[in-house]
Structure 1
Amino acid sequence: MSTQPTDVIVVGAGFGGLYTIYLLRERGFNVKGFEEAPEIGGCWYWNAYPGARVDSDVPIYEYSKEELWKDWNWTEKFPGRQELRKYFEYVDGKLDVKRHIQFNSRVVDAEFDPSTDRWAVRTQDGNITYSRFMVFCTGFAAKPYIPSIKGLENFKGIWHHTARWPQEGVELKGKRVAVIGTGASGVQVIQECATEVAKLTVFQRTPNLALPMRQRKITEEFQSEQKSTYPEKYRRIKTTFAGFLYHTIPKNGADVSTEERTAAFEELWDEGGFRPWLGNYVDLFTSRITNEHFYDFWRDKVRQRISDPVKQELLAPTKPPHPFGTKRPCLEQEYFEMYNRSNVELVSLKENPIVEITEKAVRTSDGVEHEVDIIVVATGFDAVTGSLARINIKGTDCRSIEEKWAPGLKTYMGMTTANYPNMFFLYGPHGPTAFCNGPTCCEIQSEWIVNCITYLRDNNITRIEPSREAEEEWSNNVDKIFSGQLFSEAKSWYTGANIPGKKVQSLNFTGGLPAYVERISTVAKKGYEGFILSGKRTEFTA
């Protein structure tokens, strides 16, 4: 079966997908969206696990378009999943984008036809749609990672990965619960359920260097007073390192006195959120001295909240398990206090790894069988590249994108890749993705992509693809910036090191949002420098 051709296909209906569809429609394009879930929201449809909430504060984690914020008010500084779902429905009420999206439709194949300069896109039901351009808005966390654990399939209780938690929820009260993993979802589940379960057993590989969320309720009156400042705030976030309201401290922490440094750390700590991570001294990610100073500060703050010396060492070790901030820190609310409860057990997987899951227990290498009713698999994702690599995308050389990237990731500007003409992606590989506020990153890249597609249409150009030289230059620059920082010292999804067999390298542009925006803007101003353009007419008019 096949459908009529369209101008642009957009895959994904989260922040990036909805905004891209809206912009394309406003420019007069015939656009069709595909979404695997039955509703809009992207990860906020799938994030149905207990305690799921965003780690970017209001009003940063929303669209900057005035039409979408002037009449919308949040109830918390860091909104939870249900409120985010309501926000997406509100957005659709304003932008009317759902009607362009086919839901319950997972894209499984996409192949470019050089003879027509079009993509053929097949969904899991066999339907094929043809389009001139493809925009993948699949995000960086669409492919859950479940490690190979012996016996998991034999477990007679309930188990789910947090990214595929049942929409109706799972009753945890009074149950014996195991949580495997202490990343973002693990931390949120642990602090949400510890007070209501009969027994909670946490299996930790690496301690989470979590930061205080500083959650609070916010009123409509407060937001109404603040909204006059929103336009300036949305302009400012595009000038900061990570798309938040604060800049890094314009000093090297290694060069200031102990008293000045400690005072700055205390201020960052009191502010909470990601400010101690992304608003710290400018050399936090490059100077081991500054990094270790902040780790020591963090460790001492956290240890004050943990009563058991053994758990202190497991959760906040004397020596850092990795440089601070080189693995994404989570935001927590009384997370560390949960380990003071008598019903919470902490198991170090480095000391006693899981060897098998039986019908009713998790068995570790010391021979202990931890009997449980429910297993929460909070083991993260094949992040950044996995969202695209799980789709069989074939370009002009008939190779899948998974095959192309297996020896090493290569892109141009974190939005395109050579041999895949007329294809764009956002909030993914080699963008500022993991180090940028999500909606901000999506808006910047979506606007660039839609401007590019508009330019091609207006100049009667039917095909665009990056040159291999431009791709090589961009990829080398990403690696060069990364190599001068401390990130490579952590086994992290930032580098793909959490996935067995995956090449370890920088999957993100770590040079900061302003540098990224300047580079992609320059490329556009120079008539899409680094791209090969072809079609009925290829001369530039600007």
Structure 2
Amino acid sequence: MTSESSSHNSHHRLLQAKAWIDGSAIRNEAQSKQTTKNSGGHSNPNYDCLIVGAGFGGLYLLIHLRKLGYRCRVYEQGADLGGTWYWNRYPGARVDSEIPVYEFSMPEAWKDWTWTEKYPDWREIRRYFQHIERVFDVKKDVEFHKKVVGAQFDTVRQTWNISTEDGQTTNARFFLVCTGMAAKRYIPDFPGLETFKGDIHHSSDWPEEGVDVRGKRAAVIGTGATGVQICQEWAKEADQLTVFQRTPNLALPMRQGKLTAAEQKARKSTYPDLFRYRETTFAGFQYEFSKTLTFDVSPEEREAFYENLYQRGGFAFWVANFGDLLYDLKANREAYNFWAKKTRARITDPVKRDLLAPLEPIHPFGTKRPSLEQDYYEMLDKPHVKIVNVRENKITEVKPEGIVTSDGVLHEVDVIALATGFDAVSGSMMRMGLKSTTGTLLADEWKQGVNTYLGLAHHGYPNMFFLYGPHGPTALSNGPSSIEMQARWIVDAVDKIVNSGLKSVEPTPQAEKLWKEKIDSLSDRTLFPLADSWYMGANIPGKKREQLSFAGGLLMYEQDIRAALENWDGFVTVS
């Protein structure tokens, strides 16, 4: 491919991405197609359960609802299974939860499967989903390249009418949304972005063939999880790498390692206990916060405790730390000081040291999700890597030759990676054209703040359940842990509705109000509101700043949702 055609394709992909975000234009076009097709007398597909998304959540629901005899269909926008792991194939993309905590708990899924690494990359996770296909035969009930652009519940017929971009309308008794927390990519509106003559890609819209930066000047905008992973790889390949950092990533050592089939086989007898245990922890991992508080021990004991967690790697230093880490600012500062000391020792350049691990924290440790790194700080310490502090020196425009900052400097680059994240947690549901029974758009309802009941349902949307979205443990948990917990509840709710002769259920506004108060109350006890994070919706201009996840831990969450299901507390039922 010539550089000219590559550049053209890159710009085309970027424009597609921007169009993908503009749900209103797509929705209007799809509704026009739908009217034409329906008026032609074609019958609509009809299912018991229409599931959106073929990642962990959608496939868990499909497998378990199908076992109970329900007619299910999964609509997936991508071309294959995997959900976020279909879209995320950028350099260095890998999961940040250690195996086996990051996989399905069903014995059929793990008994004949082995991983090669503690933290698998995107290719291996894709192979895992193909293994799920071989074991459960899921693809026969999945339609790919199928994008939902509108849905509304018909209160007369007691069924959902779901519109897809191809102009089809599907009817289903239950509408189950499993679009995940990071399905709506965010591309900042940098002036001149479309004029850049080199390659430019968002991390979630990466070419299958990859992007070659050897011999080139590369730029990465953003230093969240994707930015860290791209920087680690590109710093090894590019002639020059410019990293545009707004907030330093308080990243932790991954301690990656190879796994053998023999050692996994030896451990598999413990898997059922491990999968049960992960749901009793705060965040769904294989470890839990200590019951000891930071200042209950001597400085020497505290240092030794920190060192042990740090050497263990992964998220141990975050969610197996002292019990007051996320609740007491003074205690949090002790942990931050230890992290900064360990990290600064890895960086030789004094300017970069202060940019990457400042002595004064910009936000409390752990109130933004720490990324797991392998050699991030060593790579950014290299002479051919430049760090631009966009907190003080903002990006003002993009020109054909590169990126201009507020000091007037043009940073000439050949390739740009947009590691600018997502309209996370609530954004994916707001772009689907969902309408309440009264005709209001969910996107409009949630503009001034998200409302749900139990992080599973919403008033005005009968028989619609969702998971790994707003007001569940979502961003504060290991994905499969909270997904399976919520999915089991949805399976039980569907079965209970059908077997008890109910037509539909939906939450009351009062129940949603009380749940929102609980979300805020739990969050306000923590340090999370002190950081401008995507946890709080603060990464998207104009988005309401609010806690989007349940901050009480998985055990409390399951107790709450199970209690509500017992007698449909907080729900209106239609017989």
TM-score, normalising length: structure 1? 0.98
Q: Structure 1 counterpart of 2:95, which letter? A: V
The residue aligned with 1:528 is 568
1:302 to 330, 343, 358: 343
User: How big is the shift at 1:256?
Assistant: 2.4
Q: 2:75–2:147: 8 Å Cα contact kept in structure 1?
A: yes
Q: Structure 2 counterpart of 1:151, which letter? A: G
Mapped to 2, the partners of 1:30 and 1:102 lie a distance apart of: 14
1:172 to 213, 225, 234: 213
Q: Structure 1 counterpart of 2:85, which letter? A: W
Deviations 1:406-435 (A, max 9, x none): 111111000001111110100110000011
Say which SS state the counterpart of residue 459 (structure 2) adopts.
Answer: coil
Q: Structure 1 counterpart of 2:525, which letter? A: G
User: How big is the shift at 1:259?
Assistant: 1.4
The residue aligned with 2:442 is 401
User: How big is the shift at 1:167?
Assistant: 1.7
1:152 aligns to 2:170 (yes or no) = no
Mapped to 2, the partners of 1:457 and 1:450 lie a distance apart of: 11
Aligned residues: 534
The residue aligned with 1:130 is 171
Mapped to 2, the partners of 1:73 and 1:190 lie a distance apart of: 29
Q: Structure 2 counterpart of 1:533, which letter? A: T
The residue aligned with 2:516 is 475
1:237 aligns to 2:316 (yes or no) = no
Mapped to 1, the partners of 2:198 and 2:315 lie a distance apart of: 37
The residue aligned with 2:23 is none
Q: 2:45–2:169: 8 Å Cα contact kept in structure 1?
A: no
Deviations 1:307-344 (A, max 9, x none): 01111110001100100010111000010001221211
The residue aligned with 1:325 is 366
- Where do 1:43-442 residues align within 5 Å? 43-442=84-483
Stretches of structure 1 that go unaligned for 5 or more consecutive residues are: 536-542
Deviations 1:458-490 (A, max 9, x none): 111111001111111111001001011111111
Q: Structure 1 counterpart of 2:142, which letter? A: I
User: How big is the shift at 1:3?
Assistant: 2.2
User: How big is the shift at 1:105?
Assistant: 0.7
Mapped to 1, the partners of 2:248 and 2:442 lie a distance apart of: 34
Mapped to 1, the partners of 2:88 and 2:215 lie a distance apart of: 23
Q: 2:48–2:172: 8 Å Cα contact kept in structure 1?
A: yes
Q: 1:213–1:272: 8 Å Cα contact kept in structure 2?
A: yes
Identity of aligned residues (%): 50
The residue aligned with 1:538 is none
Tell me how large the CA RMSD over aligned residues is.
0.9
Say which SS state the counterpart of residue 534 (structure 2) adopts.
Answer: coil
Say which SS state the counterpart of residue 237 (structure 2) adopts.
Answer: coil
Q: Structure 1 counterpart of 2:439, which letter? A: C
TM-score, normalising length: structure 2? 0.92
Say which SS state the counterpart of residue 486 (structure 2) adopts.
Answer: helix
Q: 1:384–1:428: 8 Å Cα contact kept in structure 2?
A: yes
User: How big is the shift at 1:116?
Assistant: 1.1
Structure 1 segments of 4+ aligned residues over 2 angstroms from their partners: 1-4
Say which SS state the counterpart of residue 535 (structure 2) adopts.
Answer: coil
Q: Structure 1 counterpart of 2:164, which letter? A: T
Q: 1:254–1:287: 8 Å Cα contact kept in structure 2?
A: no
1:460 to 490, 495, 501: 501
Stretches of structure 2 that go unaligned for 5 or more consecutive residues are: 1-36, 38-42
Say which SS state the counterpart of residue 194 (structure 1) adopts.
Answer: helix
User: How big is the shift at 1:255?
Assistant: 3.0
Mapped to 2, the partners of 1:430 and 1:282 lie a distance apart of: 23
Q: 1:497–1:504: 8 Å Cα contact kept in structure 2?
A: yes
Say which SS state the counterpart of residue 358 (structure 2) adopts.
Answer: coil
Deviations 1:343-398 (A, max 9, x none): 11111001211111100111111121111110000000000000100111001121
Q: 2:153–2:159: 8 Å Cα contact kept in structure 1?
A: yes
Q: 2:347–2:377: 8 Å Cα contact kept in structure 1?
A: yes
Q: Structure 2 counterpart of 1:247, which letter? A: E
Q: 1:354–1:362: 8 Å Cα contact kept in structure 2?
A: yes
Say which SS state the counterpart of residue 494 (structure 1) adopts.
Answer: helix
The residue aligned with 1:25 is 66
User: How big is the shift at 1:205?
Assistant: 0.3
1:8 to 49, 53, 63: 49
User: How big is the shift at 1:232?
Assistant: 1.1
Mapped to 1, the partners of 2:134 and 2:503 lie a distance apart of: 34
Mapped to 2, the partners of 1:135 and 1:371 lie a distance apart of: 47
Q: 2:159–2:171: 8 Å Cα contact kept in structure 1?
A: yes
Mapped to 1, the partners of 2:74 and 2:108 lie a distance apart of: 22
Q: Structure 2 counterpart of 1:44, which letter? A: W
Mapped to 1, the partners of 2:481 and 2:363 lie a distance apart of: 28
